[in-house]
């Protein structure tokens, strides 16, 4: 059971807490009550795969949940006093830059403590990879400098107290179709920080609450 796995991990020497990644539609009340109790005795962070606030996109990529599922899960989890995080993917098919920046404002209204931002990656053997092969124009594959500016735009519209854990994701080179930037996470972050200084940008700059 999940409970046994969590407790096995916590009983391992050197483990000081848990970060649990899950879907917004996979947090039943019984499990949340257990995590609420667990949170009293250890560090706990529950992260949800939000991906986007756009229900049409969620359906398009076959996520099987809605944004209202995200709102419900995040609010219930934070309401239990548990640190709550989210994952989002920037550059999903059909979403414009305006859509993406708006998402930052909308997510900022949720009681999120942390956020991980990823670029869209096309992985071999997936349905999306097949769709890309058949209709590449349906996807906007950006270069790294374009993505850096997109992330900065996003961050400028994000609530200032949300801790940003990640700006980019890395898939194994042999599985990745695009984008092929060839950057480590720390290299990307350094370039983004330099660009932010050049732009005079900072988190929450345009967030209005």
What fold is seen in the domain 2-199? Answer: pyruvate-formate lyase- activating enzyme (3.80.30)
How do the pLDDT tens digits run along the chain, 209 residues long? 899 999 999 999 999 999 999 999 999 999 999 999 999 999 999 999 999 999 999 999 999 999 999 999 999 999 999 999 999 999 999 999 999 999 999 999 999 999 999 999 999 999 999 999 999 999 989 999 999 999 999 999 999 999 999 999 989 999 999 999 988 889 999 999 999 999 999 999 999 98
- pLDDT score at 209: 82
| Residue position matching structure tokens 């400028």 | 156
- 51, 25 Cβ separation under 8 angstroms: no
114 φ, ψ (degrees, to nearest 5): -135, 160
Give Cα 195 distance to the centre of its chain. 22
Q: Is the Cα torsion angle 26, 89, 68, 35 positive or negative in sign?
A: positive
Count Cβ neighbours within 10 Å for each residue of 111-127 and write b for 16 or more, e otherwise.
ebbbbbbbbbbbeeeee
């Amino acid at each position: 059971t999940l409970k046994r796995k969590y407790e096995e991990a916590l009983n391992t020497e050197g483990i000081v807490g848990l970060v649990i990644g899950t879907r917004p539609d996979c947090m039943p009340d019984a499990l949340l009550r257990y995590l609420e109790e667990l949170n009293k005795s250890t560090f706990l962070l529950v992260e949800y795969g939000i991906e986007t606030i756009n229900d049409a996109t969620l359906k398009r990529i076959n996520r099987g949940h809605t944004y209202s599922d995200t709102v419900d899960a995040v609010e219930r989890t934070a309401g239990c006093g548990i640190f709550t995080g989210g994952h989002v993917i920037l550059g999903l098919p059909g979403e414009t830059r305006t859509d993406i920046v708006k998402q930052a404002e909308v997510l900022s209204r949720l009681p999120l403590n942390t956020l991980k931002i990823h670029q869209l990656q096309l992985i071999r053997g997936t349905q999306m990879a097949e769709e890309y092969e058949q209709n590449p124009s349906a996807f906007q594959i950006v270069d790294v400098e374009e993505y850096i500016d997109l992330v900065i735009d996003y961050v400028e519209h994000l609530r200032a107290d949300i801790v940003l854990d990640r700006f980019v994701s890395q898939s194994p080179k042999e599985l990745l179709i695009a984008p092929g930037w060839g950057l480590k996470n720390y290299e990307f972050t350094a370039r983004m920080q330099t660009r932010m200084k050049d732009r005079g940008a900072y988190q929450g700059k345009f967030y209005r609450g």
